[in-house]
Amino acid sequence: MAIRGRGRRHPLARALTTRRLVALLVLAFVAFLYYRPLAAYVEARAALEHRRAEVAALTAERRALERRLQATAGTGALVREARALGYVRPGEQLFIVKGIERWRRERAQEGPRRAARLARDG
């Protein structure tokens, strides 16, 4: 029996190899054509998620601002803000008290002494 040469292939095997190579090239070409649209789709989804998060944050901020507006819509809030700014009503007398911090410190130091005196005097 004669041994066939290694360099020679059967025509059917060569045709199958060629078909596989063509199929692989076609598949690679299709994958190349799909790359850009898929990349654009993934990028668009990421941008959409970012925008949704931004919209949710802005919606929460809007609700908080609306609640704050409702809380300050009355005249009581206006009066509180005016008092905090130092405004007085017509006819009221304004008193400026100085040395409050020093008084608080002295009062804090006096507390333990006063408690001891009350405990002793009973």
Q: How far is CA 81 from CA 46, 65, 88, 90, in A?
A: 44, 17, 11, 16
101 contacts 107 by C-beta, under 8 angstroms: no
Question: pLDDT 10s digit of each residue in the chain, 122 long?
Answer: 455 555 566 776 777 788 888 999 999 999 888 899 999 999 999 999 999 999 999 999 999 999 988 888 888 888 888 888 989 889 988 888 899 999 888 888 887 777 777 677 75
Q: What's the pTM?
A: 0.43
Q: Which amino acid is at 89?
A: R
- Residues 6 or more apart whose CB falls under 8 angstroms from that of 72 comprise 78, 81
DSSP secondary structure string for all residues of 22-85: HHHHHHHHHHHHHHHHHHHHHHHHHHHHHHHHHHHHHHHHHHHHHHHHHHTSSHHHHHHHHHHH
- Domain spans in the chain, listed from the N-terminal domain onward: 11-88
DSSP H or E stretch at residue 110: helix 100-121
